[in-house]
């Protein structure tokens, strides 16, 4: 596939799972819940690269370590 400007690149579920470092089932759950937009092609799904980039950019959750948690509960 060429990387021409203005053309959307579509990723397979396996490619999305590899990028996110999660299982394929996690990607399928995100697709079925509507959290991650996708396009159904026959019996498989494709995820627009832009949609994945947006999902990853807006799904950031601050991580707390055990020391932060211990300070708050005392």
43 inside domain = yes
Q: How far apart are CA 31 and CA 43, in angstroms?
A: 13
Residue 3 belongs to some domain of the structure: no
The model's pLDDT over 22-61, given as tens digits with 9 standing for 90+, comes to: 999 999 999 999 999 999 999 999 999 999 999 999 988 8
Please indicate, yes or no, if residue 70 is contained in any of the structural domains.
no
Q: What confidence score (pLDDT) does residue 64 get?
A: 76
Residue 63 counted as domain residue: no
Residue 37 lies in a domain: yes
52 lies in some domain? yes
**Cα–Cα distance list, 44 to 35, 41, 47 (Å):** 17, 5, 10
Select from 46, 45, 41, 50 the least CA-distant residue to 6.
50
Residue 19 within any structural domain of the chain: yes
Question: Which residues form the domain of 23?
Answer: 10-56
pLDDT for position 67: 64
On the 0-12 / 13-18 / 19+ scale of CB atoms within 10 A, 9 is: middle
The structural domain count of the chain equals 1
Contact 19, 26 (CB under 8 A): no
Residue 73 lies in a domain: no
């Amino acid at each position: 596939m060429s990387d021409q400007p203005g053309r959307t690149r579509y990723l397979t579920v396996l490619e999305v799972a590899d990028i996110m470092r999660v299982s394929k089932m996690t990607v399928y759950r995100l697709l079925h819940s509507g959290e991650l937009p996708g396009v159904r092609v026959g019996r498989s799904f494709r995820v627009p690269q832009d949609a994945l980039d947006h999902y990853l950019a807006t799904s950031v959750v601050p991580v707390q370590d055990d020391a932060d948690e211990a300070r708050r509960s005392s």
